[in-house]
Chain A
Amino acid sequence: MAAGTIVIKKPRRTAADQSFVVEIVKGLGVTFKHFFKGLNQMRPGGVRPDVTKFNYEEGIATLQYPEEKKPYARRFRGVHRLTLRPNGDVRCTACLMCSTACPAQCIWIKPAEYPVGHASRGHERFPEEFVIDELRCIFCGYCVEACPVDAIRMDTGIHMTALDDRGSFIFDKKKLMSHVSQDGDQLTANSRPEPGDAEHSGITRLKGH
């Protein structure tokens, strides 16, 4: 045998293994331990580990789904929302980048100019209609990536559930604007001076520069 060779002895079956009885009693010990632990946790007033947390405590691990839910991760891509400006208007400028990026082609935007006299006229457009077909959406998040003004987000934490008919899966602008983020936030993180504010450059598309 070469030097440095480690000889590992093959474990032989002992008489205890062979006779089954001892091993069966050992196995019963394991199952009885779990059984009584579970029974103790399930009795009225018993405390079982909080399954809605990501922990690994021993005990009953069943999640009673509709009543108990594990929170989604912060980066979970849920149903879309349209962020708002501080004055409550939609942040979207109808640049169509999201609908262009969308691989499922589920976003449809009808852009419109602000009416004459509006501070934003000529500066940017707004979506007269903004429709997302949530049935076609594949929740890839490309629209969020594409948006230059942080107007569309998927941080609502809403898991898209089954609805009664297909029509109710088509979310319009009003519905999308009503969604809130997991923190209860509705405002855009990309707020900047609005046309008319003192900090605004005043440059518009119509005047030219």
Chain B
Amino acid sequence: MSQKVYITGLGMISAIGNNVPESFLSLTQSKTGIGKIHHLTTRYKDEFLAGEIKLSNSELADLVKDNNPALNRNSYIAMLAAKEAVINSGIDTTDGLRTGVISSTTVAGMSKTELYYKELFEKDDHLDVLDTHDCGDSTERIADYLGNVDYVTTISTACSSAANAIMLGCRMIKHGQLDRVVVGGVDALSKFTFNGFNTLMILDREWCKPFDENRKGLNLGEGAAFVVIEGENALNLRKGKALAEIIGYANTNDAYHQTASSPEGYGATMAIQQALEMSGLKPTDVDYINMHGTGTPNNDLSESKATIAVFGNQVPKFSSTKAFTGHTLAAAASIEAVISVLSLQNSMIFPNLNFTTPIIETGLIPETKLVNIPLNTILSNSFGFGGNCSSLLFKKV
């Protein structure tokens, strides 16, 4: 059980870039990917902003080099990000070690289902969406795209999904069930989620302002991010290179409300505390927190209070990077895991964009400019509907 688990490969596609190098450039230039809606078909396209991937489905198909008509946007972006992570890690899935794919998604194939659903009753043209609508579809597409995958599963715990995929991957390695796992999450933007969040009245019509007193809500984004994680035994065997170590994780439930976080951030506090406990670190050892920070009034206040509950008056430097990518739902935690590793590798804290006024009740001030500073330990939080709270701790290697 004591085997260490390392991140050895990164892959990511979102509004701020089609791969990790492009994403890094956007982050260092404080360049948001959120803007006018181009690809999503919605009557609100001129009223709201979104963090869309800047490629059409046919452009994505070209990148994936697969014209299978059954593939949807969710699968395209998942396959691209997973492949990038595998290439980046240098693992060879044919070498006889046990490789798993643990992915996560919330609406899966909905971006395609919603285009054809009514037509399905009249015509036979798009009945394949019945086979690709579910959450397992993109995971199996990734597995088949990578080849020689021994284990697959998929998690859906709303906006904390990818954190749980990362956590499960770590546990399966520690339990000796797998040698390495491609873990992460994916969610393509859909009219379904857009309207869902809109009816909840938690979308900001302008750029989201995480942790700002005058924040009005979130901007939705879309994306996929995967990291390759390996046990130290497998990594040593192939003499691979670690990018970061995962030293703590925890999953708790707020058990307060189906969609809202408890005002005092009870579940979040426990998740952070338990992740710290597992790592054996003290709160003061955390150098930076990549917050969930969606920009909704409820989340940011609740998360701020949880942060104060754990760190007291020594709150580490923190920011939310959701004003770059938008809230990518199931992919958020893996996108932020990639961003956290980039922070560790480059000794950089990426800014919390659009912030001007601290929340009166807490007074917390995020980093608003790119900060160059050595970082050893990063905490990353992700919370979701259903009270799901997850925290991950990454350490520089």
Q: Bound pair: A and B?
A: no
